Structure formats: C-alpha cells, structure tokens
C-alpha cells in the first residue's frame, strides 16, 4: 500500500520554499512530484519595463547567492548586441569575482549538506571559512550579497591591491586543505552517507539536460568556461573535475575539487591581471535591434540570458533567463525514485538548488 508524504513548501528539511509530494511504499520513495512557483516575482516581465542600466540592478536580485553571475550574463549579452569590448583589466576582475562567488557558493553548500546529513562539524567549518570569502567580496565591492560590480562595458570598481587578496587566498587554501576538502573527499561519515544515494545515470543526465556540477557528477564534461569561454577564461589554467558515480558522493567530490580549481584560477588571474582602464566607455550604450545570448558557468551550472532589443527604446523588448536549478530540478524526481525516505532531504540538497533563481 502506498502513501503520500508532503514536504513543504515551508519545511525544516528545505532551505527555500518549494513542495515535494513523495509517493512511498514503506520507507521507499516510489515517485515524487515537484511544485515550484512560491517565489515567483515576474522578473522577466519587470525587465521589459527597465532601461539598460536599471535592468542590471533588477537582474542582480534574481539570486542572493550567485547575484554576480546574473549581472555578468546580462552585461555580456548587452555588450554583444552593442558591439562593446570591455577593457582587459575589467575582464580579469569579472573572472576574479565569478570565482570568489563560486567559492563562497560551494562552501555554503558544503555547510548546508553537512547540516542535512547531521554532520554539524562540517556545517561549522564551512560557514567559518565562507566568512573569510565574504570578507574578500566585501573588501572589493563594499557589499556581501549584491556586489554591483558589473556594468555594460566594464566594471564599477577596481581591485586596487591584488596582493592583499593573494594573502587572503593563502589562508583560505590552507583552511580548505585542513578541513573542508578532507571532509568532502575522505571522511568516512560524510562519504558513507552519500555513496549510492540519489543516483542520476549518465544517460538520464544527458536526456534531462542537467548542467553544472550535477551534470559533471554523472560523467558529462560540459563546463561553459571551457566549452565556450567568456571574459578571459581561455587564458586560465584549470581542470574540469568529472566523476562518473552519479550519486550524492560524486556531486560532493566534484564540488570539492572545483573549490580547489577556483583557487587556482583566482591565483592565476590575480598574478597576471594587467593594469590600465577597468571602467570602459563612459557613454551610454546604443543598443541596436537584434537578439544576443550570453552563457556563464555559474556555481550551479550554465546560466543563459537572451536579450532582444528593438533598436529604438532604451528598454529591452524581451529578456529570457534560464537558470541552472531550472534545468537541474526535474532530475530530483529521477534521483528520488527507489531512495529511502530519510535520504530525500539530502538528495534534493545535492543539486544545490536555488528556488529564488528557479522561480525568478
């Protein structure tokens, strides 16, 4: 006999509002229904009523964790439409901000995953370390959440002392090697809780079109930084970690290894960043009629912005935002089938979901 277990939309096992209806037989989940929309703000509608400067601030509010990804994506799309190339230093600053954001997002996720597993030490260690990255972001931008760093044609603030950040990076890397990485990759408690749990096969990952660490943990190699490089990623030396297990452990390991790769990129960018202009043109951009698409590898995977202009108005005709959780979330249903009911919170957390992004 089957029975239904409703979880959410507001529930201690979920970090944000959404609803899971689990169909169970005994302790085994047979199927799951997902319901989203509890954070729906109609941002794509609002974007058609903002000019090209205002819309950047609006898009920064799509997400509270990866806000920089959204401003970078929309600025890149507008720059492509208007034929604007930002100065070299600005492109390096964009890479540095994107990787700092990936670091704090992955470490935040490690903490949340630790909490869901009941491994509170991992939660405390992660959140302590994340603070130093938030301090770095605040030192650069003056803000801890919405950094307001990107503008069409450049960035709003310089990184005046890369040496200071390199010192901070040394400390972060030491702490990573001391606590977070061993917990992620070797700790018996963490790994046994995750092995064989919430499996997404390579075939289903392809067919569902999942992106980011969720895809790379199922053996797909896609990473927009490598496949379709933007800013100055083609000059950065880094590996794209891929695991083939498709389970929660594989997603844990991929993110752990990505943390180390982000440190590598940060060190490279900070030591090779050229001097010169970072602001770009002071003129208001003229955006001709047409459509341009920008894709960024955010912490959770590929973000796509499609911007369409009519060439007359100073407001976009249409902005489409496809966020990574939107692509990854339908896979939760597949991961949950056959799982233990007690693993459901961990499985849904393993894609590092962001419902603010998904609902927009």
Partner 1 sequence: MNDLHQISSVLGLSETWEEKNGSWWIAPAALDIRLMAAVMRSHEARFVTLTAMQLAQDAPIRLDYHWDINGQLLTFTTYAQGNQVPSIVDLCEAADWVERETHENFSIDFTGHDYEPLLLRAGDASGLQLRKEAP
Residue numbers at the binding site for partner 1 (CB under 8 A)? 36-38, 40, 42, 44-45, 48, 80-81, 206-209, 222, 224, 226-228, 290-293, 295, 302, 304, 306, 308, 310, 317-318, 320, 322, 326-327, 329-330, 359
Nearer to partner 1, 92 or 233 (CB): 233
Nearest-approach distance from CB 24 to partner 1, in angstroms:
21
Nearest-approach distance from CB 34 to partner 1, in angstroms:
9
Cis peptide before 9 (omega within 30 of 0): yes
Kindly give, in sequence order, each residue whose CB lies less than 8 Å from that of residue 128, ignoring residues fewer than 6 positions away: none
The residues that bridge with 35 in the sheet, in sequence order, are: 19
Nearer to partner 1, 40 or 161 (CB): 40
Nearer to partner 1, 156 or 306 (CB): 306
Contact of 122 with 114, CB cutoff 8 Å: yes
Nearer to partner 1, 130 or 225 (CB): 225
CA distance 243 to 270: 29
Contact of 299 with 225, CB cutoff 8 Å: no
Nearer to partner 1, 220 or 256 (CB): 220
Nearest-approach distance from CB 37 to partner 1, in angstroms:
4
CA distance 211 to 297: 9
Beta strand 301-309 pairing with 150-151: unpaired
Extract the tokens encoding 110.
């490690």
CA distance 218 to 84: 37
Nearer to partner 1, 68 or 358 (CB): 358
Contact of 90 with 269, CB cutoff 8 Å: no
Nearest-approach distance from CB 247 to partner 1, in angstroms:
21
CA distance 241 to 257: 6
Nearest-approach distance from CB 239 to partner 1, in angstroms:
17
Nearest-approach distance from CB 89 to partner 1, in angstroms:
22
């Amino acid at each position: 006999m089957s029975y239904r277990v409703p979880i959410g939309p507001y529930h201690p096992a979920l970090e944000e509002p959404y609803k899971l209806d689990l169909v169970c037989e005994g302790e085994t989940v047979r199927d799951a229904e997902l319901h989203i929309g509890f954070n729906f703000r109609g941002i794509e509608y609002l974007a058609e009523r903002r000019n090209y400067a205002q819309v950047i601030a609006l898009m920064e509010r799509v997400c509270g964790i990866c806000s920089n990804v959204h401003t970078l994506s929309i600025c890149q799309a507008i720059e492509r439409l208007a034929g604007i190339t930002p100065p070299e230093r600005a492109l390096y600053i964009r890479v540095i901000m994107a990787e700092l954001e990936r670091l704090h997002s992955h470490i935040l996720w490690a903490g949340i995953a630790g909490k869901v597993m009941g491994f509170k030490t991992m939660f405390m260690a992660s959140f302590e370390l994340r603070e130093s990255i938030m301090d770095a972001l605040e030192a650069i931008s003056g803000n801890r959440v919405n950094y307001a760093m990107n503008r069409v044609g450049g960035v709003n603030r310089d990184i005046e002392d890369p040496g200071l950040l390199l010192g901070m990076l040394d400390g972060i890397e030491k702490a990573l090697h001391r606590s977070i990485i061993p917990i992620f990759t070797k700790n018996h408690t963490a790994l046994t809780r995750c092995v064989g749990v919430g499996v997404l096969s390579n075939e289903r990952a392809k067919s569902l079109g999942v992106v980011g660490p969720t895809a790379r943990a199922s053996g797909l190699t896609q990473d927009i930084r490598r496949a379709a490089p933007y800013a100055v990623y083609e000059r950065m030396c880094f590996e794209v970690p891929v695991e083939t297990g498709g389970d929660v452990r594989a997603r844990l390991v991929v993110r752990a290894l990505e943390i180390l790769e982000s440190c590598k990129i940060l060190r490279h960018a900070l030591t090779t960043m050229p001097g010169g202009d970072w602001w770009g043109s002071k003129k208001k951009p003229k955006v001709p009629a047409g459509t341009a698409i920008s894709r960024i590898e955010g912490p959770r995977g590929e973000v796509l912005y499609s911007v369409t202009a009519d060439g007359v108005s100073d407001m976009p005709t249409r902005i489409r935002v496809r966020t990574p959780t939107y692509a990854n979330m339908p896979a939760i249903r597949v991961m949950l089938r056959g799982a233990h009911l007690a693993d459901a919170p961990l499985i849904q957390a393993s894609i590092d979901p962001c419902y603010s992004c998904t609902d927009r």
